[in-house]
Structure 1
């Protein structure tokens, strides 16, 4: 059986999906088990091994290679994990350890890269821009991330930081970021950053959905949404001026904000280095499935 295996390493669950290599939209099986990350790195590896064993037994087929969507990056120099919010993975030679345990070739890419790859090959890419060569995938939710896909392949870059849009400097008022810098995109337009900005203005805590709902009646909500639109536009223009991608796909909870695709896009056009900007920004197609599908497609 010619198959593509992918595993998404989430903070709370580990999911495996197997695709038909001859028809990547055909999902043969999907299974998940708890990560139980609080029990440590070795336990995470054991859970992965357990899940792979379950899928092999149920599918009646063994993988030759497995792609992994990870919550951080495999450093191409040290071959150890870094930047993982599942902190037990940080500093670990995860690719080497997985290959030793599973006995197959493994490929690791961060979750934003896998999101971008899945949308490029299975989702918004074929649906909206089937001839696209360069696609940029954006995760805009609790955190902010990005991934670059060129001619159907993830571009990780020399240092493994290709597409790290969330940690480009955007605005000083975003304040300190966990990465050590100040004013990163993530600290300005991620969901928690917008809620914190509203609270700073109003003295009240509200969800992003509530802030959006109050946009026309609450001056503090209006100011927060204005900040989102203005800074989103600047952030999208950075991608456009640098890469000029054929398509930008938005994912994550904040991607469900409808006016980003109209008012937000208009703000971006003001900062793009061409007289008549033509930026194609669309909502994702695959939703939460993108991570595990993208992991499988690392070997497509």
Structure 2
């Protein structure tokens, strides 16, 4: 018997249970919860794929070429491809070669999603603290996002090649191979949590924010946190605590937040984004010009880049 769709989403991060049995035998969830979580996962993933496909289209159409949007473009592509492969290939257990390839591809893609979210965190942190060479930094961040997962997957294949695909799903087995994903993923989540805290502290120290009342600061901090959570992947932490029947609420939160990650990225970083609105305005006036390609002095470029980051929160 195959695992349900929600089982498969949660097993991507949680190696703590016996994967030879379905989730219900370990968590003993009621059937209504299993069915509800599966439906939420499928619907959420489909919505995310549509939202991130729109995100990619908007970024390319309006030619938003700053490192911030290039990283967002790469993250969006990684999440879309990972979710498409997940939805279409996770259950291909009857085709051994295909299943093994799906497992390898999912390992690489989901690691890339996490490393690109780490790249987003590093980029945001540096933008709020110091200016640095855009081309060099972007190349390094993209190598981190796409290159480091390739190294990890290659080493994993050499050391635990038999751990790709099982009788239940096309994913890593729990006999050691799973840690080639869980280890880096949990490390990245911890790093991004620390980055988020440092970003909020820096943000609250900015003059325009420091002059606000305590309630205004709280609201601004809450907004910054909500905007950054899907970008940094910290919502995956809910998967860590969703490990038994007493934490069913966290299982719902995990299923909703992570399957809808693409929708949140689209809303917070495209729909409500000032740069995208300006680019749209240029397009309507038949002047399709990237906001970041407009002539600016060196000093104004630095000011604009830092201000655009702060505009995400204020």
- Higher helix proportion: 2
TM range (shorter): under 0.3
- The structure that has the greater radius of gyration is 2
Q: Which has the higher contact order (CA 8 A, sep 6+)?
A: 2
Greater percentage in strand = 1
Task: Please give the TM-score of this superposition, normalised by the length of structure 1.
Answer: 0.27
